[in-house]
Amino acid sequence: DAKTTQPNSMESNEEEPVHLPCNHSTISGTDYIHWYRQLPSQGPEYVIHGLTSNVNNRMASLAIAEDRKSSTLILHRATLRDAAVYYCILFGGSQGNLIFGKGTKLSVKP
Amino acid sequence: DVKVTQSSRYLVKRTGEKVFLECVQDMDHENMFWYRQDPGLGLRLIYFSYDVKMKEKGDIPEGYSVSREKKERFSLILESASTNQTSMYLCASRWDRILPQHFGDGTRLSIL
């Protein structure tokens, strides 16, 4: 599976939008872009995934660049509960596992 | 919502003991996974299972075995626990290969 690059950490203020970037310049045509987050003392939680088009769900939006070499997870109004490590993962749909990198640690200030 | 339940949040065992970690999912998922998570090393796959009675080794299977007798249950077994198996253990399941994985809350296992 191709590699992703994310900033180690980001800060946000409560109730402001947050844009979490992810670079994946070696993405292949069949790779899906998955985002998970992990809150302290919990297992990872699925956030959103997409292939080519932008995606929205109740938790977040995923904006995918036209060349698919980067993507951005958008939290529209950050809350304190959104403080977590966010992982961007490429997944080619093989039978194997997801490969989690170091992710971005998001801090949210009141 | 999908529910993946791990039998214990915290567990303390002694070196040499046989340890069982249980995981149950309630969504009839085909695939189930066991990971361990350690600081600085991220999540690493131990074993996974595509279906009942089927299992595949992941990246770090040494010292572990698994059992999947029923679709909803996937057990991780530490045959003879050692201190280097002290870790957070995470179970996950998914419907099929392109859909997201759903994780349990983890079992923090300490081997003394």
Query: How far is Cα A71 from Cα B45, in angstroms, rounded to an integer?
Result: 25
The H-assigned helical ranges of chain B are none
CA distance A42 to chain B (A): 5
Contacts with B63 (C-beta within 8 Å, 6 or more apart), sequence order:
B78, B79, B80, B82, B85
Sorted by sequence, the CB contacts under 8 Å of residue B93 that are 6+ apart come out as B2, B4, B23, B25, B27, B29, B31, B32, B33, B74, B101, B102
* Confidence band of A28 (pLDDT split at 50, 70, 90): confident
Distance CA A31, CA A1 (A): 8
Contact A43 B106 (CB under 8 A): yes
pLDDT in tens, B4-44: 999 999 999 999 999 999 999 999 999 999 999 998 888 89
Which among A58, A74, A89, A50 is positioned nearest to B1, based on CA atoms?
A58
Q: How far is CA A38 from the centre of its chain?
A: 11
Q: Give the minimum alpha-carbon distance from B111 to chain A in angstroms, rounded to a whole number.
A: 19
pLDDT for residue A82: 96
Task: Using CB atoms, pick whichever of B33, B91, B102 lies closest to residue A97.
Answer: B33
A17 touches chain B (CB under 8 A): no
Find out whether A61 and A54 touch, Cβ atoms under 8 Å: yes
Return the pLDDT at B90: 97
Over residues A70-88, the pLDDT tens digits come to 999 999 999 999 999 999 9
Dig out the tokens for B52 from the structure: 């009942």
Q: Which two tokens stand for residue B21?
A: 């970690």
User: In this structure, is the dihedral angle defined by the CA atoms of residues B110, B40, B5 and B62, taken in order, positive or negative?
Assistant: negative
B96 or A39, greater pLDDT: A39
- Which residues in chain B are contacts of A45 at CB distance < 8 A? 103
Q: CB A97 to CB B104 under 8 A?
A: no
Average pLDDT, chain A: 91
pLDDT digits (tens, 9 = 90+) for B80-92: 999 999 999 999 9
CA separation for the pair B74, B34 (Å, rounded): 8
The mean predicted confidence, pLDDT, of chain B is 93
B50 close to A (CB below 8 A): yes
Letter for the amino acid at A47? V
A89 pLDDT above the threshold of 60: yes
